[in-house]
Amino acid sequence: MLSKTIATINFKGGVGKTTMTWCLAELIANYHAVMVFDLDAQMSLTQAIAGNEGSFRANKFSKWLETSSQQEKTIYHALKKYVDNSGYSFSSDYIYKTQRGYDFVPAVEDLYWLDLEASGADRRTIPGFMRSLLGKIGGFKKYDYALFDCPPAFTWLSYSVLSCCDLILIPVNPDFYTVGGVYKIFNALIKWIEPFPKIGLFMNKVKTTIDRKTKALKMTSETQSYWDEVKEICEGIAEEQNLGIRCFETPICDRVSIK
Ligand SMILES: Nc1ncnc2c1ncn2[C@@H]1O[C@H](COP(=O)(O)OP(=O)(O)OP(=O)(O)O)[C@@H](O)[C@H]1O
Ligand SMILES: [Mg+2]
């Protein structure tokens, strides 16, 4: 079994889930054995990682992805067989070894339709999928960390990940809708996720200004007020529900270089 599983989620799109998962993978892979999953049919992380392996259309990764899709050796096929109750396999053939040192399970477009296709399946079995899959992977390779880039929605695949991860990371942005959405995320997690993992929130795309007195960089007052609101929401929910929720004071600036 893997020792640490971290999922990055937010039902709001574009807050930086993929970017942060990717950065974490690049960073942690310097010290530990890392496995990264793209669970989003948009395939953003898959495209980003493909870009690192050379030009997207003609590189080794793209050929590998084409072959594994033809051979039905993708996360989509594994979950589909799992929910159809027809048994599934998962071997090293499903996992791409990146030049950057971490292993990668890409997303495929078919994930868009998975929830529709599997709508007749026994829903009670879904949360067990990722736990079962990680058990299978642990049978042939030991990883220290598994990172999951989740879609901006509550899909069956993300449901199965959230049901077995140690830490959920929630990037938030300094805007009205993202901050308002924090309640919705907690409502869904409290309703559906068992056991409840640790939760960490942090602010991404932070707008900064120079402090007149100290000349240091600080959050603009608007960004600060959104972050204060997030912390207040989290404190209230953590106390009310007795949950391990932490707001990390590590703002990530809105930077063209990150983009
Ligand atoms: N700190 C940052 N500064 C500037 N740009 C950023 C920052 N973080 C993310 N971005 C950019 O914002 C866009 C959305 O980021 P990303 O794709 O990581 O979000 P996401 O939450 O995964 O989106 P989706 O919900 O569509 O999966 C991308 O163009 C990314 O490069
Ligand atoms: Mg994304």
The predicted pLDDT at position 3 comes to: 66
pLDDT at residue 175 above 60?
yes
Ranking 10-14, 34-38, 124-128 by mean pLDDT, the lowest is 124-128
pLDDT in tens, 83-94: 888 889 999 999
Exposure pattern of 30-51 as b/e (b: 16+ CB <10 Å)?
eeebbbbbbbbbbbbbbebbbe
Read off the pLDDT of residues 194-218 as tens digits, 9 standing for 90 and up.
Answer: 889 999 999 999 999 999 999 999 9
Residues 145 and 259 in one domain: no
Ligand 1 centroid to 132 CA: how many Å? 30
Q: What is the pLDDT of residue 1?
A: 47
Indicate whether 46 and 15 sit together in one domain. Answer: yes
Q: Domain ends where: 135, 165, 195?
A: 165
Encode pLDDT of 113-139 as tens digits: 887 777 666 767 788 999 999 999 999
Residue-level pLDDT at 56? 59
CATH of the domain at 114: 3.40.50.300
Q: What is the arithmetic mean of pLDDT over 97-111?
A: 95
Domain final position from 97, 132, 165: 165
Tell me which of 38-47, 80-89, 146-155, 245-254 is least confident: 80-89
Residues 43 and 100 in one domain: yes
Number of structural domains in the chain? 2
Is 181's C-beta closer than 6 angstroms to any atom of ligand 1?
Answer: no
User: Do 195 and 69 lie in a common domain?
Assistant: no
Residue 111 has pLDDT above 50, yes or no: yes
Q: Is the pLDDT of residue 105 over 60?
A: yes
72 in the same domain as 24: yes
C-alpha–C-alpha distance, residues 177 and 195, integer Å: 28
Strands 103-105 and 245-247: unpaired
Same domain for 115 and 1: yes
pLDDT at 149: 98
Q: Name which residue sits closest to atom 14 of ligand 1, judged by CA.
A: 14
Q: Which domain holds residue 181?
A: 169-259
CA of 38 to the centre of ligand 1 (A): 15
Last residue of a domain, one of 165, 184, 214: 165
Whole-structure pTM value: 0.94
Cβ–ligand 1 distance for 12 under 6 Å, the answer no
CB 254 less than 6 A from any atom of ligand 1: yes
Q: Is the pLDDT of residue 38 over 90?
A: yes
Percent above pLDDT 70 for the chain: 95
Hey, whose CA ends up nearest to atom 31 of ligand 1? 259
Do 161 and 54 sit in the same domain of this protein? yes
Nearest-CA residue for ligand 1 atom 29 is 259
Ligand 1 close to Cβ of residue 15 (< 6 A): yes
Is the shortest distance between the CB of 23 and ligand 1 below 6 Å?
A: no
pLDDT for res 86: 80
Q: Are residues 77 and 151 in the same domain?
A: yes
Q: What is the 3-state secondary structure (H, E, C) of the chain?
A: CCCEEEEECCCCCCCCHHHHHHHHHHHHCCCCCEEEEECCCCCHHHHHHHHHCCCCCCCHHHHHHHHHHHCCCCHHHHHHHHHCCCCCCCCHHHCEECCCCCEEECCCCCHHHHHHHCCCCCHHHCCHHHHHHHHHHHCCCCCCEEEEECCCCCCHHHHHHHCCCCEEEEEECCCHHHHHHHHHHHHHHHHHCCCCCEEEEEEEEECEEECCCCCCEEECHHHHHHHHHHHHHHHHHHHHHCCCEEECCCCEECCCCCC
The ligand that comes nearest to the alpha carbon of residue 38 is 2
Give the model confidence (pLDDT) of 41-74 as tens digits: 999 999 999 888 876 566 889 899 999 999 999 9
Q: Are 138 and 195 members of one domain?
A: no
* CA nearest ligand 1 atom 9, residue: 16
Ligand at shortest distance from the CA of 207 = 1
pLDDT digits (tens, 9 = 90+) for 177-199: 999 999 999 999 999 998 899 99
pLDDT at position 181 is 93
